[in-house]
Amino acid sequence: MAENPIIEVRGLSKHFEARQHLFRKSSTGAGVLKAVDDVSFRIPKGHSLGIAGESGCGKTTTAKMLLKLYEPTSGSFLFNGKDITHLRAKEELKQFRKQAQLMFQNPFEALNPRFTIFRSLLEPLIVHDIGTKEERAAFIKQALEQVNLIPAENFFEKYPHQMSGGQLQRVVLARALIVDPIFLVADEPVSMLDVSVRAGVLNLMKTLTERLQLTTVYISHDLSLISYMCEQTAIMYLGKVVEIGDTMSVLQKPKHPYTQALLAAVPSPDPDEEPEEVLIKNHVPSPINMPNGCHFQDRCPYTEAICREKTPELRQAETGQIVACHMVTPFFDRKAEREEHVI
Amino acid sequence: MSLLEVNDLKIYYKTSRGISKAVDGVSFAVDQGRSLGLVGESGCGKSTLVKGIIRVLAGNGVIAGGSVNFDGNDLTKMAESHIRQVRWKDLSLIPQAAMDSLNPVYPVIDSFLEILMLKGKLSRADAIQRAQELFTMVGLDTKRLRYYPHEFSGGMKQRAMIALALALSPKLVIADEPVTALDVIVQNQVLRVLKNLKKELGLTLVMITHDISVVAETCDDVAVMYAGKIIELGPVSRVLKHSMHPYTMGLANAFPNLKKTESTLISIEGSPPDLVDPPKGCRFAARCPFQIEACAHEEPSLVSVGDRHFAACHRLDEIAVLQAKAKEVDTWRKIPS
Ligand SMILES: Nc1ncnc2c1ncn2[C@@H]1O[C@H](COP(=O)(O)OP(=O)(O)OP(=O)(O)O)[C@@H](O)[C@H]1O
Ligand SMILES: Nc1ncnc2c1ncn2[C@@H]1O[C@H](COP(=O)(O)OP(=O)(O)O)[C@@H](O)[C@H]1O
Ligand code: SF4
Ligand code: SF4
Ligand SMILES: [Mg+2]
Ligand SMILES: [Mg+2]
Beta carbon of A237 within 6 Å of any ligand 3 atom: no
Q: How far apart are the C-alpha atoms of B265 and B252, rounded to whole Å?
A: 9
Interface check B45 vs A, CB under 8 A: no
**B172-176 and B91-94 strand pairing:** parallel
Question: Mean pLDDT in chain A?
Answer: 89
Q: What is the pLDDT of residues B311-332, one digit of tens each?
A: 999 999 999 999 999 999 999 9
Residues lining ligand 4, judged by CB closer than 6 Å? Answer: B 246, 282, 284-285, 288, 290-291, 295, 300, 313-315
Interface check A228 vs B, CB under 8 A: yes
Give A6 to chain B, closest Cα distance, Å.
Answer: 26
- Rounded to 10 deg, the angle between the B246-254 and B319-326 helix axes is 20
Q: What is the pLDDT of residues A135-193, one digit of tens each?
A: 999 999 999 999 989 899 999 999 998 888 889 999 999 999 999 999 999 999 998 88
Over 60: is that where the pLDDT of B86 sits? yes
Best of B35, B41, B42, B46 to substitute, by most chain A Cβ atoms within 10 angstroms, is B42
Beta carbon of B93 within 6 Å of any ligand 1 atom: no
pTM: 0.86
Q: Over range B39-64, report the average pLDDT.
A: 94
Atom number, ligand 4, closest to the C-alpha of residue B246: 5
Q: What is the ipTM of this complex?
A: 0.85
Q: Over range A127-138, report the average pLDDT.
A: 95
Which DSSP string corresponds to B206-250? EEE-S-HHHHHHH-SEEEEEETTEEEEEEEHHHHHHS--SHHHHH
Comparing CB atoms, the residue among A197, A224, A271 nearest residue B240 is A271
Lowest-pLDDT range of A195-199, A228-232, A282-286, A329-333: A329-333
Q: What's the confidence (pLDDT) of residue A339?
A: 59
Q: What's the confidence (pLDDT) of residue A196?
A: 82
The domains of chain A are located at 289-343
Q: How far is CA B64 from the centre of its chain?
A: 20
Beta carbon of B22 within 6 Å of any ligand 1 atom: yes
Q: Over range B51-69, report the average pLDDT.
A: 96
Beta carbon of A296 within 6 Å of any ligand 3 atom: yes
Comparing CB atoms, the residue among B216, B236, B255 nearest residue A195 is B255
Terminal CA-to-CA distance of chain B, rounded, Å?
44
Q: What's the confidence (pLDDT) of residue B335?
A: 54
Lowest-pLDDT range of A54-63, A323-332, B320-329: A323-332
Q: What's the confidence (pLDDT) of residue B263?
A: 80
Over 70: is that where the pLDDT of B336 sits? no
Question: Mean pLDDT in chain B?
Answer: 92
Helix (H) or strand (E) holding A44: strand A31-44
Over 70: is that where the pLDDT of A200 sits? yes
Answer with the residue of higher pLDDT: B101 or A230: A230
Best of A149, A194, A249, A281 to substitute, by most chain B Cβ atoms within 10 angstroms, is A194
Q: Which residues of A touch B268 (CB under 8 A)?
A: 196-197
**CA dihedral sign of residues A266, A267, A270, A273:** positive
Beta carbon of B278 within 6 Å of any ligand 1 atom: no
User: Which bound ligand lies closest to the C-alpha atom of A237?
Assistant: 2
Interface check B153 vs A, CB under 8 A: yes
Q: Which residues are CB-contacts of B159 (< 8 A; sequence separation ≥ 6)?
A: B138, B139, B140, B189, B190, B193
Judged by CB atoms closer than 8 Å, whether chains meet at A166 and B271 is answered as: yes
CA dihedral A51→A52→A56→A61, nearest 10 degrees, is 0
User: Which bound ligand lies closest to the C-alpha atom of A238?
Assistant: 2
Contact A194, B210 (CB under 8 A): yes
Which domains does chain B show, CATH number per domain?
4-225 (3.40.50.300), 242-332 (no CATH)
The amino acid at residue A19 is R
Q: Over range B219-239, report the average pLDDT.
A: 97
Q: In this prediction, what percent of chain B has a pLDDT beyond 70? A: 99
Interface check B213 vs A, CB under 8 A: yes
Q: In this prediction, what percent of chain A has a pLDDT beyond 70? A: 91
The amino acid at residue A308 is R
Q: Work out the pLDDT band at B156, boundaries 50, 70, 90.
A: confident
Q: Over range B174-199, report the average pLDDT.
A: 87
Interface check A14 vs B, CB under 8 A: no
Q: How far apart are the C-alpha atoms of B283 and B40, rounded to whole Å?
A: 13
Q: What's the confidence (pLDDT) of residue A332?
A: 58
- Is the bond preceding residue B235 a cis peptide, omega within 30 degrees? no
* DSSP type of residue B87: B
Comparing CB atoms, the residue among A196, A261, A275 nearest residue B268 is A196
Q: What's the confidence (pLDDT) of residue A30?
A: 64
Comparing CB atoms, the residue among A23, A196, A265 nearest residue B187 is A265
Q: What's the confidence (pLDDT) of residue A334?
A: 59
The amino acid at residue B247 is Y
Q: What's the confidence (pLDDT) of residue A338?
A: 59
Beta carbon of A63 within 6 Å of any ligand 2 atom: no
Q: What is the pLDDT of residues B41-50, one digit of tens each?
A: 988 999 999 9
Contact B254, A198 (CB under 8 A): yes
Judged by CB atoms closer than 8 Å, whether chains meet at B185 and A23 is answered as: no
